[in-house]
Amino acid sequence: LANVSACDWYDEEFELAGLLIGLAVYNSVVLDVRLPVVLYKQLLGYVASLEAPGGADEPVDLDDPAYAINLDDLDDIDPDLAKGLRQLLAWSDGDVESVFCRTFVDDADGAPLVSSTSDATATDDAPHSPDDPVTEANRALYVRLLLEKRLVGDVAAQFAKFAKGFARVMKGASGMLHKLVDPRELALMVAGTPELDFELLRANTFYEGFGDRDPTTVPVVREFWRVVLDDFTEEERRNLLMFTLGTKTAPMGGFGALKPPQYAPFKIQRAGPDSDRLPTSHTCFNVLLLPEYDPPSKLGRMLRVAISNAEGFGLQ
């Protein structure tokens, strides 16, 4: 949602996007969709009120980056602006007003900077107007208001639709999420963790169709793990995950979490004797079907062809 320049989005589509994210959370489905953490902060209610959704009895430390909007959130969307604002806050070599020449407006659209979440003057020394220069004394206020505008105010209408779609799926549970997870944990529930430990995946793999044999000693299985661990590039490993699991990331908790009842385990199933058929998969069940190639050295070539030419459906 941070970058929609490639297409035109309408209110109903933001609501649909929220509904899809809600379905992913509700059904423990990992999506290859990286949304800004600030969006999850808003979904959990921390940004809108600058306090936890539970009210005054659950105050939030506004200096805690897990909750308050901050420059790390802006990094996800506009890293150049975030870098410039950090320089503004850290500047000590001369007069801030004459060096940065900023006033309380957003240079991108000329809009005045006013608080979208609370009384902007409640914790600052003096009120401000759009024509007031940014000085050493008020630069923190300027940065705070610009963050609120860019990350909250400018997308308020779209976020309201997104949140409505999310709540349609989660219903009453969406109001309880803040008691169970923080914003980064919710992001991991949706998109999984980018760190991939394939040794852990091997340790948690199930096997089917190999009869009374120890599947880990079957030549084609041993060749599979040799190719994946030693020969595949990082991109090929992620393509294998997409081919088999329907996502290029591991679920929250890593590959060790691929266990019932929350997730279907990763399973390698024998798909008959040696043949010239490519490996196939059932992504809904995390099953990879491998013919028992003979010689096993055929597997690397066949697997690369399969994962490089697979096309399914998903979010674009």
Q: Can 7 be counted among the known catalytic residues?
A: no
Distance in angstroms between the alpha carbons of the first and the last residue of the chain = 12
Q: Which phi and psi angles does 103 have, rounded to 5°?
A: -125, 175
Closest CA to 48 of 141, 169, 163, 208: 163
Sheet holding 206-208, edge to edge: 206-208, 267-270, 287-290, 280-282
Q: How many other C-beta atoms lie within 10 A of the C-beta of residue 88?
A: 19
Cα distance between residue 158 and residue 272, in whole Å? 51
Cα distance between residue 129 and residue 150, in whole Å? 18
Q: What is the DSSP string of 172-238?
A: GGGGTHHHH--HHHHHHHHH-BS---HHHHHHT-EEES-TTS-GGGSHHHHHHHHIIIII--HHHHH
DSSP assigned state of 281: E
Which of 108, 284, 305, 315 is labelled catalytic? 284
Catalytic positions, written as ranges = 284
